[in-house]
Amino acid sequence: MYDVLIIGGGAAGMTAAIYASRKKLNTLVLEHEKGGQTALQPEIWNYPGYTDLNGAKLLDVFRKQATDFGAEVRSFVAEKIQLEKNEEDKEFFILENKDGEKIKAKSVILAMGAKPRKLGVPGEEEFSNKGVTYCATCDAPLFSGKDVVVVGAGNTALDAAMQLTKYADKIYILVRGEVKGDPITYEKLKKESKVEFVFNAETKEIKGDQFVTSLIYKDKESNEDKELKVSGVFVSIGSIPNTDFLGDFCEKNQFGQIVINPRTNATSKAGIFAAGDVTDIEERQAVIAAGEGAKAALQCYKWLKSNH
């Protein structure tokens, strides 16, 4: 029986582990992918105290701190969560994976992060990993000397395009409305000769034979369908929270994000806290996720002291 189970090994989860273990709570971090989305970032310039550091190295620092303070970390994909009571009528939680393995805890901090949002257009699934990708950090080098398109207008899309400038010959950036990413990155990309922004563009279809050969988009000004001859499509249109396994165990909003008390990070279920991109907070930044993880752990500690 652990004092707290933290689901997720990203910035929110590992920071929660640091704070929980420093409070001498018996802490276990369950992670599906090491480091979460932050670990995929090739460059991080805006995390206080660090410059010119990539996401994987930053999360390695977090992990070492957490384990040095006594937290355990293991790979475990939760498929089910349930609530039970012990002989003293105290409630506790059970997490179960697909193999039926169960882990018990007095409290839980949900920090599962999010997964890439898909376009939902013809050809996307067919050519997934055959030119369609959701991770520039992982796949940019595969498109050396080729023409590619980045779909999206936020920081994820702009960062993907910046990475691709080191490899691709031509980079189209399809923007449906307006650019929402950081102005500094946007200005840098506008000065890149190999980058071309395509505005008022709505992706319609991805075509290919064995691999991607082109992308069809609708020009919303002319109402015409146009084609870009490309070998790669980098989908960068946001993310979906990893909350499927929860079902209706605790309250979620219309986007599937866990609804929390912004002061305490408590969910609708007593003893369950949540932090980071999996919640309904406004911003999606590593430093914010880390702060939310710290808050969740401190509030979880207070709850445990009052209830166990």
Report helix, strand or coil for 205: strand
Q: Which helix (H) or strand (E) holds 188?
A: helix 183-190
Round to whole Å and give the CA distance between 49 and 18: 17
Catalytic residue among 60, 99, 139, 159: 139
Task: Read off the amino acid at residue 123.
Answer: G
Annotated catalytic residue, options 60, 89, 99, 138? 138
- Expressed in angstroms, the distance from the first to the final Cα of the chain is 12
Q: What angle do CA 76, 80, 86 make, to 5 degrees?
A: 100
Q: What tokens does 107 get?
A: 């409290």
The interaxial angle of helices 183-190 and 155-164, nearest 10 deg, is: 40
Catalytic residue flag (residue 139): yes
**68, 89, 135, 169: which is the annotated catalytic residue?**
135
Output the DSSP codes for 55-92.
HHHHHHHHHHHHHHTT-EEEE----EEEEEE-TTS-EE
CB 131 within 8 Å of CB 232? yes
300 is catalytic: no
Q: Rg (Cα) of the chain, in Å, rounded?
A: 21
Secondary structure, 3-state, 98-142: CCCCEEEEEEEEECCCEEECCCCCCCCCCCECCCEECCHHHHHHH
Rounded Cα gap, residues 72 and 26, in angstroms = 9
Give catalytic status of residue 182 as yes or no.
no
Residue type, 215: L
List b or e across 18-36, with b for residues whose CB sees 16 or more CB atoms inside 10 angstroms: bbbbbbebbbbbbbebebb
Catalytic residues: 135, 138-139
